[in-house]
Structure formats: structure tokens, C-alpha cells
Amino acid sequence: MTGHDALRTRPPEALTEEEAAAELAALAAEIAHHDRAYHEKDAPEVSDAEYDALVRRNQAIEGRFPELIRGDSPSRRVGSKPVEGFATVRHGVPMLSLGNVFDEAEFAEFCARIRRFLGLPAEEPLRFVGEPKIDGLSVNLLYEDGRFVRGATRGDGTTGEDITANLRTLRDLPDRLEGIAPRSIEIRGEVFMEKAEFLAFNAKQAALVEEQARRAAAGERIGERARVFANPRNAAAGSLRQLDPKITAGRPLKLFAYAMGAASEAPAATHWDWLGVLRGWSFAVNPLSRLLPDAEAAAAFQAEMTAERAGLGYDIDGVVYKLDRLDWQARLGFVGRAPRWAVAWKFPAEQATTTLLKIEIQVGRTGALTPRAVMQPVNVGGVMVQHATLHNEDEIARKDVRVGDTVVIQRAGDVIPQVVSVVPEKRPEDSAPFAFPETCPACGSHAVRPPGEVVRRCTGGLICPAQTVERLKHFVSRNAMDIEGLGEENIQKLYDEGLVRSPADIFRLSRHAERMRGWEGWGSRSKKGTEESRKVANLLAAIEARRRPPLDRFIFALGIRRIGEVNAKLLARHYHSFAEWREKMLAARVIGSEAREELGSIQGIGPTIAEALVEFFGEERNLAALDDLAGEAPPEPVAAPAAADGPFAGKTVVFTGSLETMTRDEAGDVAERLGAKVAKSVSKRTDFVVVGADAGSKATKAAELGVRVLTEAEWRGMAGLG
């Protein structure tokens, strides 16, 4: 729905070069957007077929205009979503994530929760199966009538990529299940590379890279670039992503099977027996897995694995404990996306020590001053780390972090580095406590910290260059205006050159095309030639492609405090058009006015958020910038969600429990499009409660109040989802 549909219906041959460039830019942006919606937010906005149509359109145009293929073309991307080759696959049963515990007390709490839920006395032992948690790639293997028919990556848990051909090359994967097999069954496993194999393989890769470099220097053409991998996990992932199964076949990949997904019949009554069944079907099951009679045995097993960890042939980051009895598993169900009957007991995060070189203060788009540690680069768990957030003033004081200190760092939640503590013995004599600045490092304005709040904020607002640049970055970002090719660096450059000071300026950039072409790397043919000379044209095309933004994106892009994606959508849906919204916001500046009441009556908008909006509209310069922008890029009204009739029109619907075929958010979107109002909790004004797996009190309440309860299947039927 980007306004390019008219163009898209024309065959590529009928396009002028300029049109083609513009459409490729728009397609790249749109596909990237969907990739994100699909992967990161778990909320695809288009069907797979629509998505594929976009990709095919992109390929068709690229085929006709090969010289226009963009550096960021979706067809080149090797990132999250493979665009050629791999199809997407929906798992029969979602592939879940696991809750984590880090010590015996947390594990005991996990056990206590199970007992509470099942109503078991403390004496009743909980029998677990412990399985080393390998750091590899989860895959889902579908067998029908005993034959391997499809294999997929985990993906976002709901849908993954079809990598059947690659998986067939694994020696550990039986093509056929021996003996009695259910008509249809999904088997989950972990694909990984052993440490020794990884080192040998990576050495080969390194040699290959070197050789390619030599040949390139000699002017030879080289095809696919070889690469070295940072760790076994990445190597395994890279190997499974190969479009050519022959390459995968040459990689030393292993597979351990460990769980069952959707199955036409249950092949066992306990998890332990199930592992036995898998072995019988000649799957490799981790031989270290063990049946543990009670929680004490689990704790002992954890200690044992901690000791043995270093000596294992592969990397593990903890042990997974699963309640053995499948009937209990079924009763326990799920909280969110994680089962209540299993947990990952993680080893302590890998730590490293390094020196703190300095503490930088970053200024965010709302003026928040955030301290950031700059450290001597150090390897933590296979990744070089040199920055870590210090969160805020209090955090620095609490840990008494000082410049020059030797600090212990770790990567929390597998990714984000954090400073754990300082090593006081190694502190230089002349060190002083860090003095958090009380003025903005970018504009010198006062930075204030309201009582009771943690964040200190620059009061410079519109005059602060750092805030202005951050707001511009936010404006063009993916979920906002989504202007492809306008990243952080380019925005900074355009700001520094004085070409862009406000969002509206972006839409006037075409006036400065000549000047931009003169910049090094923008159009001046320095080294690489062709691609750079296209940069300005591509950028302008990408900007044009966004000249009619949907109102919700437009509102979000403004970067008003407390107005994120969700609240922006609420506002856009409620006020429908830009003019209406603008007028009502101005009127709402008067406390007690009708417009203010209306604003507060929107579900999800409370007094604080209303206040933030009113504050924005109370600033004359904001209003001027807003109108300037709306003149350049007038927002399109969002379609009114109301459907005049149908079973959900005008009804209030509550979704509860975890739905299998979609997330609650997705379901909510569908319901809204059908004219329903989606609420979070059940009251007597609720018309329908849609109950997913493991619904809790809301389902009970619905029954008490006599509200109509729908199963997921019934809901899908009524909503016309088939």
C-alpha cells in the first residue's frame, strides 16, 4: 500500500530508467520493512504470496536494468530473510523459547511453580530429563509416513525457512523412520559444528580468503567470496544457509534430536521414552542426556556439566531441564512463548576484564543523556567488544565506575555488553569519581533531572544539534518514514552541510542535487565508479517514494515524546485525517475542553501522554515545522477500521492465551479490520473472548459473566480466515 501499485502493474520493459530506479528504491525499502515486521516484530503485515510478489517484481526490474541493481538490493542480501531459494514454512506447532535460570535458588523457584500449578505436595519428586544446551541452530523436521519431507529453521518461532535440501545432506538425519512411525510428526533438533571441526574448517576458509585476495590483486575475477566465521555457531548457520546443498554437504555438521512438535499421535508417555523412540529411529540423541529422579539430581547434574563443559567437543551454554511426564507437560502449558515445564539453566555469562578508556555522553532524540563506556577492545564469548552502556548517572555511582579503572564486562542476554563491576585493586591512584555533566555536551544547555526520575535530559530542545540530528534519524528510520539510503551517516552529513535542518528539508533535497553530487563518495567518481554516481539519484527516488506517508507513520516519525508506534497508530485511527488530528490537538491545549476529553477517552491514551501531545503542539516552532512538513509530504488518512457488518462489527473482543496460528497482536489487527474493538481484559461489556492454549483467569471470568467464548478455530472461521 505504498502508492506504487499503479507503477507495479507495468511490465519492466515499459519503465524508463528513472522510473525503474525509483521503483527499485521503493521495493528495497518496502521489502526491508516487511523483513523487519516479519522477523523482529513477529507480525507480518503481508501474506507470503504478497511478499514473494514484491521480491519477484524486484528481480524482474533488475533483470531488465542490471546497471541499476542497488548495493542494498533485496536480491543481494544474505541477511535475515533469504529472498531467492528458500521458501518460508509455517511450523505445525510453534518452536518455543525457554525461560532461563542461573542458580539453584532460581531453579528451586521454577520447581515450586510447577508444584503450585499442578497442586503437588513438596514431597512429590519432580522427575526431569537434563540435556546439554548446544549453541547451534534449531531445526524442525517434518516426517510423513516415515519419510523426511521437509526441514526448516526455527526462524521467529512461528515460521522458518525451508532448508530441506541442505538438511538432507546431514549424515545424522535419517531419511526414513525405521519401524512404526506416525502418519505425520515434527521432530526438533539442533544442528551444530564441533569445536575441532570448526577450527579445521575455518583454517581452510582463511587460506581460501587469502588466495582470493591474491587473485583479486592480480586482477583475476573471483566468484563467491569465502569468509571465516567468528564461532562454530555462525559457521553452522552459514553452512545451512547455502543455496547450493553441495556446499552444505562439504561442511562438518552434526545433528542432535531432542523434541517433538506437531504429531498425529504421541509416540511415548514420557520425554525420556520419547528420546528412546528417537534413538530407535536412528536419530542421534545427545548421549549426555540423563534421566534425573528429582530436583537434587538436577542440581548435581548441573554441577557435573559445569565441570565437564570445557572438555566437551562442542560449545554448550547451559543445560535444559524438561519435566519427564508428558501428561504433566500438557497440563502446565505455556506462559507467553515459553513452556512452564522446561527451563534452561544457563552457565554464568562469560566475562572478561579490560580497561575503561573514557566515558562518553550520548544525547538521544528526547534529550536523554546516556553514558557509554569506551574500553580497550576485548574478546567476550567470541565477539570483540569495546562499548558498553552504563545506563545512567545512578548506575555509575552505584558501581563507582571511574575512567582508568579495570572493569569486568559480560554480555547480558547473549548480546548486549554490560559493565559488571570494577576491580578496585587495579584502580590508578589519581582516579576520581565520574562527574556526570549537568549541561548538554552538544549544546551546553542545562541538563535537568526531574525528582524521582533516573534520566537527566538536555533542555535545549529544538536548538540542540544532537537532539535535532537524532530526531532526523528517527524521522527517516524504518518504522517511521522508512527512507532507504538515508542512514545515520548521511543524515549527519546533510545536517553538517546545512542542507537538512528539519524533516521538511529532506523533501526539498532535489534542489541541491548538483551540490550533493560534488561530495566525495556521493557522485564524484572517486574509486569505485558506477555505484557512487547513482547514489544521489537513488536517494532522491527513495525520498519521492515516501511523499505520501500513512498518517500513523507520519505521527510516529515526528518523534513526539511518549508517542511511539502504538500510540501513533491509536491517534491515526482515531482522528483519521491529518487535518482533523491537527485541529483537535490544538483545541486540546485547553484543559477541560471537549477535544481534551476526546483525547483522554482514547483507549490507551492517559493523562501523561495527552500532556506530552499538548506540550508539543503548544510550541510555536513545532507547529511551524509540522505544517512545513505536511505541505511537503501530506499524510494519507489511514483506512477507517470499521466494517459496517459482519459478526465482529462494533463488538468488543478479548484475546487470551497463546494462539497457535498467529500472535495476539496479529489477531487484534484482524479483529480491528473487521470493525471490532480489541480490549485486554474481560468485563460484562465484552462480546467475545477468544481463548488460546493455556488461557488463565480471563477464560474463567468469561464463563462467569456468560460472555461468549470462542476457540481459536471458531474465531478463524468467523473472521473468514479459513
Comparison of 357 and 679: residue with beta carbon closer to DNA: 679
- To the nearest 10°, report the CA torsion of 294, 300, 301, 304: -170
- Reduced to 3 states (helix: H, G, I; strand: E, B; else coil), residue 103 is coil
Strands 316-323 and 184-193: unpaired
- In the complex, what is the shortest distance from the CB of residue 52 to DNA, in angstroms, rounded to a whole number? 24
The answer to whether residue 384 forms part of the interface with DNA (CB under 7 A) is yes
109 is in an annotated binding site: no
Instruction: Please check if 62 is assigned to a binding site.
Output: no
Which of 99, 276 has the CB closer to DNA? 99
Q: Which residues contact 106 (CB under 8 A, 6 or more apart)?
A: none
Q: Is 658 annotated as a binding residue?
A: no
- 469 vs 475: CA distance, rounded Å: 10
By the rule CB under 7 A, 563 interacts with DNA: yes
Residue closer to DNA, measured from CB, 114 or 545: 114
Q: What is the DSSP letter of 311?
A: G
Among 399, 478, 561, 589, binds DNA (CB under 7 A): 561
Q: How far lies 208's CA from each of 198, 219, 225, 363, 574, in Å?
A: 15, 17, 9, 44, 59
Marked catalytic residue, from 81, 133, 569, 701: 133
Residue 388 in the binding site for DNA (CB under 7 A): yes
**Min dist. Cβ of residue 571 to DNA (A):** 9
> Is 605 a residue that touches DNA (CB under 7 A)?
yes
Taking the C-alpha atoms of residue 164 and residue 113, their distance in angstroms, rounded to an integer, is: 39
Would you say 702 and 686 are in contact if contact means Cβ atoms under 8 Å apart?
yes
464 is in an annotated binding site: yes
Min. distance of Cβ 103 from DNA in angstroms?
A: 16
**Cα–Cα nearest to 373, from 353, 402, 351:** 402
Cβ neighbours of residue 162 closer than 8 Å, sequence gap 6 or more: 86, 87, 88, 89, 150, 151, 152
* Contact predicate 667/689, CB 8 Å: no
Among 362, 421, 431, 577, binds DNA (CB under 7 A): 362
DSSP state, 194?
A: -
By the rule CB under 7 A, 508 interacts with DNA? no
Q: Would the annotation count 68 as a binding residue?
A: no
User: Interface with DNA includes 567 (CB under 7 A)?
Assistant: yes
On the 0-12 / 13-18 / 19+ scale of CB atoms within 10 A, 175 is exposed
Q: Which is nearer to DNA, 157 or 276 (CB)?
A: 157
On whether 51 is known to bind a ligand per the annotation, the reply is: yes
Contact flag: residue 682 with DNA (CB under 7 A): yes
Total residues at the site for DNA (CB under 7 A)?
53
What mask, x for binding DNA by CB under 7 A, covers residues 647 to 676? -----------------x------------
Hey, how many other C-beta atoms are within 10 angstroms of the C-beta on 269?
Answer: 12
The window from 3-11, 17-25, 188-196, 599-607 that contacts DNA (CB under 7 A) reads 599-607
Under the criterion CB under 7 A, does residue 701 sit at the interface with DNA? yes
Rounded to 10 degrees, the C-alpha dihedral 242/244/245/249 comes to -80
Instruction: Find the binder of DNA among 71, 424, 521, 564 (CB under 7 A).
Output: 564
Q: Would you say 354 and 407 are in contact if contact means Cβ atoms under 8 Å apart?
A: yes
Residue span 427-466 as binding mask against DNA, x where in contact by CB under 7 A, dash where not: -------------------------xxxx-----------
CB of 124 to DNA, least distance (A): 25
The grid coordinates of residue 40 equal 523482529
**Residue among 344 and 563 whose Cβ is closer to DNA:** 563
Nearer to DNA, 393 or 532 (CB): 393
Q: Which three cell numbers stand for residue 195?
A: 569445536
Residue ranges of E strands in 615-693:
652-656, 677-679, 688-691
List the one residue from 14, 149, 207, 230 that touches DNA (CB under 7 A): 230
Helices assigned H by DSSP within 133-231: 164-168, 195-217
List 234, 329, 431, 459, residue binding DNA (CB under 7 A)? 234
d(CA 91, CA 661): 9
Contacts of 722 (CB under 8 A, 6+ apart): 716
38 in a labelled binding site: no
Q: How far is CA 448 from the centre of its chain?
A: 33
The residue within the footprint of DNA, chosen from 122, 217, 310, 415 (CB under 7 A), is 415
- CB-neighbour burial class of residue 585 (10 A; exposed 0-12, middle 13-18, buried 19+): buried
C-alpha cell at 575: 482522528
Residue 190 assigned ligand-binding role: yes
CB-nearer residue toward DNA: 168 or 562: 562
Q: How far apart, in whole angstroms, are the C-alpha atoms of residue 505 and residue 502?
A: 5
Name the residue nearer to DNA (CB basis): 11 or 413.
413
At a CB cut-off of 8 Å and minimum separation 6, what does 294 contact?
125, 126, 127, 128
> With binding defined as CB under 7 A, does residue 368 bind DNA?
yes
Q: Is 111 marked as a binding-site residue?
A: no
Task: Note whether 342 and 320 are within 8 A (CB).
Answer: yes
Minimum gap (Å) between residue 8 Cβ and DNA = 30
CB of 606 to DNA, least distance (A): 2
Q: Are 588 and 614 in contact (CB under 8 A)?
A: yes
Q: How far apart are CA 227 and CA 209, in angstroms?
A: 6
The CA radius of gyration of the chain, in Å to the nearest whole number, is 28
42 in a labelled binding site = no
What's the CA angle centered on 496, arms 493 and 499, to 5 degrees? 85
387 binds DNA per the rule CB under 7 A: yes
Q: Is 98 marked as binding a ligand?
A: yes
Shortest Å, Cβ 450 to DNA = 8
DSSP sequence for 429-446: TT-------SB-TTT--B
Give the 3-state secondary structure of residue 518.
coil
Q: Does 610 bind DNA (CB under 7 A)?
A: yes
Nearer to DNA, 91 or 365 (CB): 365
Residue 385 found at the interface with DNA (CB under 7 A): yes
Contact between 681 and DNA by CB under 7 A: the answer reads yes
Catalytic residue status for 651 = no
Q: Report, in Å, the least distance between residue 561 CB and DNA.
A: 4
Tell me if 364 contacts DNA by CB under 7 A. yes
Annotated ligand binding at 687? The verdict is no
Q: Which of residues 96-115 bind DNA (CB under 7 A)?
A: 97
**How many residues comprise the chain?**
722
Q: Which of 606, 618, 631, 650 binds DNA (CB under 7 A)?
A: 606
Residue 417 binding DNA, by CB under 7 A: yes
| Annotated binding-site residue numbers for Zn(2+) | 440, 443, 464
Annotated binding site: 48-52, 97-98, 131, 154, 190, 322, 346, 440, 443, 464
Q: Which residues bind DNA (CB under 7 A)?
A: 97, 230, 234, 362, 364-368, 370, 372, 383-389, 391, 412-417, 452-455, 470, 561-568, 603-610, 664, 679-683, 701
| Binding annotation for NAD(+) | 48-52, 97-98, 131, 154, 190, 322, 346
Among all residues, which ones are annotated catalytic? 133
